[in-house]
Structure 1
Amino acid sequence: MYEAKTQPLLARAAFARRLALHAALALALVVLSLGAGMAGYMLTERMSALDAFVNAAMLLGGMGPVSPLATPAGKLFAGFYALYAGLVFIVSAALILTPVLHRLLHRFHVTGKS
């Protein structure tokens, strides 16, 4: 997927496409995670779609739930979803930064500049 050490630096247009692909994958992960969170809140806490969206989005954004949780199943879901949301943040950041860091390191190797 990435160029080897012996290959030249990727052209800017191809790099922009690679970066866009990685950003699209990160966005898809966030959207799917938001949908799963909404479904979980709707099933375990009987929240409306809007309330489930707010709670899931706040957890994915690192803020925490908005509505108080009433059921044991909802509290368990929220706990596991919060742990999952932390991993989604790390994976999304890695997906977006990987092409940039690879290009930087590849550039230093190809040109010998530091």
Structure 2
Amino acid sequence: MSVHLEHKSNPILPFGKFIIRVLTYFLFSFILIVFSLGIGTIGYNYFGGLSIIDSFYNASMILTGMGPVNEMKTDGAKLFSSFFALYSGIAFLGFFAVIFAPIAHRLLHILHLQDT
């Protein structure tokens, strides 16, 4: 994904183009969330022996920071669950950073324009 944000000396992006930028960043985050849910669902299904629905439920709960639902009984399932939880903690924050990056950039750009 190529990022070309306007420099502080450039005029602020028109609102329509800003909305397209926000939607593009949101779509990128959405794709990463779906990918992460897929990895979690497959992992819980394979390592934990859970049904697809229960695996998706566990992956969703871990990915959002709510915590596990089902107990993992095997060492492999516990290891997968641990590594997925570590990944999820970082990924969840990253998803929201990507979503809010253009909004924060625009706000800082507006504040800088008002400063000059």
Same fold at TM > 0.5:
yes
Root-mean-square deviation over aligned CA pairs: 1.1
1:49: which partner in 2?
A: 52
Shift of 1:45: 1.4
Taking the aligned partners of 1:16 and 1:41, their CA distance within structure 2 comes to: 37
TM-score (norm 2): 0.93
2:23: which partner in 1?
A: 20
1:64: which partner in 2?
A: 67
Which residue identity is paired with 1:51? D
User: % of aligned pairs identical?
Assistant: 40
Q: Which one scores higher on RCO, CA 8 angstroms, separation ≥ 6?
A: 1
Contiguous gaps of at least 5 residues in structure 1: none
Deviations 1:80-105 (A, max 9, x none): 10011111111011001110111011
1:1-114 alignment runs, 5 A limit? 1-112=4-115
Query: For this pair of structures, how many residues does the alignment match?
Result: 113
TM-score (norm 1): 0.94
Which residue identity is paired with 2:89? G
Contiguous gaps of at least 5 residues in structure 2: none
Query: Which runs of at least 4 in structure 1 moved beyond 4 Å after TM superposition?
Result: none
Deviations 1:50-93 (A, max 9, x none): 11011101101111111111110000000110011111111011
Shift of 1:46: 1.6
Deviations 1:2-56 (A, max 9, x none): 0012210000000000000111111111110000001111111121101101110
